[in-house]
Amino acid sequence: MRRSALAGIAVLPLLAAVPAKAADAAFCNAPGMTQPMPLTSHAPPPELYPPLSAMMGESGNTLVRYTVLASGIVGDTSIERSSGSLRLDDAAVAFVKAFRFKPAMLDGKPVDCSRQIVIRWSLEGSSPLSMAQIGGTPFYPTLEDFPPGAVDRHEDGTVIAMVLLGDKGTIETILPMLGSKFADLNSATVDYIRKQKIAGPTVNGVPVRAALVIRVVWSPTGRPADAAGDTGQAHQP
């Protein structure tokens, strides 16, 4: 089971001109033009990484082309090269659209110009994706749910899975995403989830197809006191 880690998200600005489309503004390094000056950070925050993409192990590079308008805001954007994930590409565009600039100048006047930037999405590193970023409904197995010998070996940990519900509210598929360091707990998670009654969304009282994130917290001591509001199952010592 893959244990994803978020090393960070890097950006690489590209200023070299590429063949322009008819409707595109000139590139920001055109002769006689002063380039726009960034007024906001271009360093992507860790939370930019879509949690579902991290859980599914999606990574890659998104090349975004964008226009810095004479007003200093970002106008048109386009994906020049996809990362292979629509989620990552959408997050890249949303990040770029928030950029603000002191606009480019040509002959003493602010002008539109075009730039491009690469957003590098990487899941290789040492910083774990936090549970807070992923979210999900927590469930707490009882001691009887633990694999044989796991409690005596003091095994514990959290396994996160995507659960696909059918239009009758039944579990169709369980996709483990992030595992604990104990293989037997990871393996036991699927069987444990299948035994649970998971309430999915409804429309006019009728269950509908849905994908839910579930956190199975394997803890021999049961549900912690600060988890009183959790909706999952709790171990009763």
Q: What is the pLDDT of residues 179-211, one digit of tens each?
A: 888 999 999 999 999 999 888 888 888 888 888
Same domain, 217 and 148: yes
Q: Answer with the one of 78, 98, 122 that is the final residue of a domain.
A: 122
Answer yes or no: do 103 and 82 share one domain.
Answer: yes
Judge if 74 and 146 occupy the same domain: no
43 CB-near residues (< 8 Å, 6+ apart): 11
Shared-domain flag, residues 117 and 139:
no
| Most confident residue range from 78-82, 175-179, 232-236 | 78-82
Same domain assignment for residues 139 and 78: no
Q: Tell me what pLDDT residue 119 has.
A: 92
| Averaged pLDDT for residues 139-164 | 92
Q: Is residue 236 part of a domain?
A: no
Report the pLDDT value the prediction gives residue 225, as an integer from 0 to 100: 58
Quick check: is 115 in a domain?
A: yes
Spell out the long-range contacts of 18-25 with Cβ–Cβ below 8 A and sequence spacing 24 or more.
Answer: 18/80, 18/116, 20/114, 24/65, 24/67, 24/114, 25/67, 25/111, 25/112, 25/113, 25/114
The count of domains in the chain is 2
Task: Tally the residues of the chain.
Answer: 237
Residue span of the structural domain in which 113 resides = 8-122
Same-domain status, 115 and 143: no
Is 232 part of a structural domain of the chain? no
Given 122, 153, 180, the domain boundary residue is 122
Same domain assignment for residues 156 and 210: yes
- Asked if the model's pLDDT at residue 82 lies above 90, the reply is yes
**Residue appearing with tokens 């040492």:** 126
Q: β-strand 101-102 against 37-38: which pairing, if any?
A: antiparallel
Report the CATH number that the domain containing residue 92 is assigned in CATH.
3.30.2420.10
Assigned token pair, 211? 């994908």
- The overall pTM is greater than 0.75: no
Please, which pLDDT band fits residue 23 given cuts at 50, 70 and 90?
A: very low
Instruction: Please report the pLDDT score of residue 11 as a whole number.
Output: 61
Say if 128 falls within a structural domain. Answer: no
Q: pLDDT tens digits, residue range 102-133?
A: 999 999 999 999 999 999 988 764 344 444 45
What pLDDT is recorded for position 168? 80
pLDDT at 35: 92
Assigned domain for 130 exists: no
User: At 210, which CATH number?
Assistant: 3.30.1150.10
Name the residue among 179, 176, 182, 195 with its Cα closest to residue 150.
182
Range with the largest mean pLDDT of 8-12, 55-59, 176-180, 195-199:
195-199
CA 121 vs CA 60, 77, 88, 149: distances in Å:
5, 19, 8, 40
Based on the fold, state whether residues 198 and 147 are members of the same structural domain.
Answer: yes
Q: What is the mean pLDDT of the chain?
A: 80
d(CA 82, CA 186): 33
Among all chains, which residue has been given the structure tokens 């726009």? 36
pLDDT at 122: 82
The 3 state secondary structure assigned to the chain is: CCCCECCEEEEEEECCCCCCCCCCCCECCCCCEECCEECCCCCCCHHHCCHHHHHCCCCEEEEEEEEECCCCEEEEEEEEECCCCHHHHHHHHHHHHCCEEECEEECCEEECEEEEEEEEEECCCCCECCHHHHCCEEECCCHHHCCCCCCCCCCCEEEEEEEEECCCCCEEEEEEEECCCCHHHHHHHHHHHHCCCCCCCEECCEECCEEEEEEEEECCCCCCHHHCCCCCCCCCC
Does residue 112 share a domain with residue 142?
no
pLDDT category at 20 given cuts 50, 70, 90 is very low
- Domain identity same for 62 and 152: no
Give the residue, 205 or 35, on which the prediction is more confident: 35
| CA distances (Å), origin 25, targets 33, 66, 68, 114, 227 | 12, 9, 9, 5, 54
Q: What is the mean pLDDT of residues 1-9?
A: 40
Check pLDDT > 80 for residue 178: no
Domain stops at, among 72, 101, 122: 122
